[in-house]
Amino acid sequence: MLKRKSFGVTKDGEKASRFILENSKGMCVEVSDFGALVLSILVPDKRDSIRDVVLGFENLKDYYNNDIGLGAYIGRNANRIEGAKVTIEGKEYVVDANNNGNNLHSGFDRSHYKFYRSQFGQNEEGSFVEFSRNSPHMEQGLPGNLEQKIRYMLTEKNEFIIDYEMVCDKMTIVNPTNHSYFNLDGHNSGTILQHEMEIYSDKVLNIDRNLIPTGEIINVTKTPMDFQYRKEIGKDIDSDYLPLIIAGGYDHNYVFSNDRKLKKVAKLYAADSGITMAVFSDLCGLQVYSGNFLNGQTGKAGAIYIKRSGICFETQFYPNSCKEASFPSCILPGDEVFQSRTVYQFEVE
């Protein structure tokens, strides 16, 4: 089932909407045509109380001050580009140097500040709303007119599914992700340090002091970054371990096969609510970010989001994969269709 409500007016005068997806299990997802944002995810807990498990803001205007990316669709390119420049078909393109001389999440002119066309419906999987927008040639400094489609779906299996479909008339970078911050005890419940986590990979990308991958893939078995077995997030997060010291916590890309098959990549557990969330992806990288730069933002219902109040699971190609020859590349040939699926599945334990 889907409902539509007003979400205010954008700075450009568009009338924005909240789209509310509901299933028969009591789960509800709210998204918006402003920014293709995920506004809330309501999940029944082990006591049949409803918890909103993603961080967010109360009003549309607050999302204009959202460099931290609460609920954000990130396009055209997620994560970092070293030196804020990239060469495509022999031509160098300069992009915003908005992060220590590098490009982060496509610069200052971010996709979650844009307005999207919407259509909605239902298929054999569930109810959905699909947002679409043409990103014009040289928007965010990148070539080609990129047609973007982001479909959000809620199923009867309590799966929140994100499907991306993109095509460009020139060779360009295509590496979208979602930047929602999850807290399975509720967005207003404090930190996620007592949550437990599994990540089904023993490898991460090594990084330099600016969090740019060095090209080296390191094995993290039996290190503080090993989540092959269920472990409390806070147990090792402040360990004397160089990759964690550099990032100020978890902010690393875990490595998976590039076979483009949908696979379970991670699982999150919350003891108080009993809610669990499994993450599925068909991409080769998973950026796990423990909210290290949250610093007291005021969110929904006056909640204060302190450091590590939420955790992100950003499915994507590796950071800097447009420049690192040894990585699977996020550069998409002109007129070739990119498709990808991410699934967040909720259960009660």
Task: Classify strands 117-122 and 126-135 as parallel, antiparallel or unpaired.
Answer: antiparallel
d(CA 103, CA 80): 5
What's the sign of the alpha-carbon dihedral 76, 186, 308, 342? negative
What's the sign of the alpha-carbon dihedral 327, 332, 337, 341? positive
Query: What tokens were used for 295?
Result: 């610093």
Active-site residue, 314 included: yes
Given 30, 130, 196, 314, the catalytic residue: 314
DSSP-assigned letter for residue 318: P
Given 112, 179, 187, 195, the catalytic residue: 179
CATH architecture label of 2-348? Distorted Sandwich (2.70)
pTM of this prediction? 0.98
| Tens digit of pLDDT at every position of the chain (349 positions) | 799 999 999 999 999 999 999 999 999 999 999 999 999 999 999 999 999 999 999 999 999 999 999 999 999 999 999 999 999 999 999 999 999 999 999 999 999 999 999 999 999 999 999 999 999 999 999 999 999 999 999 999 999 999 999 999 999 999 999 999 999 999 999 999 999 999 999 999 999 999 999 999 999 999 999 999 999 999 999 999 999 999 999 999 999 999 999 999 999 999 999 999 999 999 999 999 999 999 999 999 999 999 999 999 999 999 999 999 999 999 999 999 999 999 999 999 9
d(CA 53, CA 51): 6
Task: Classify strands 251-255 and 285-289 as parallel, antiparallel or unpaired.
Answer: antiparallel
DSSP-assigned letter for residue 336: P
Active-site residue, 196 included: no
The residues spanned by each domain of the chain are 2-348
d(CA 310, CA 96): 27
d(CA 16, CA 275): 31
- SS3 label, residue 64: helix
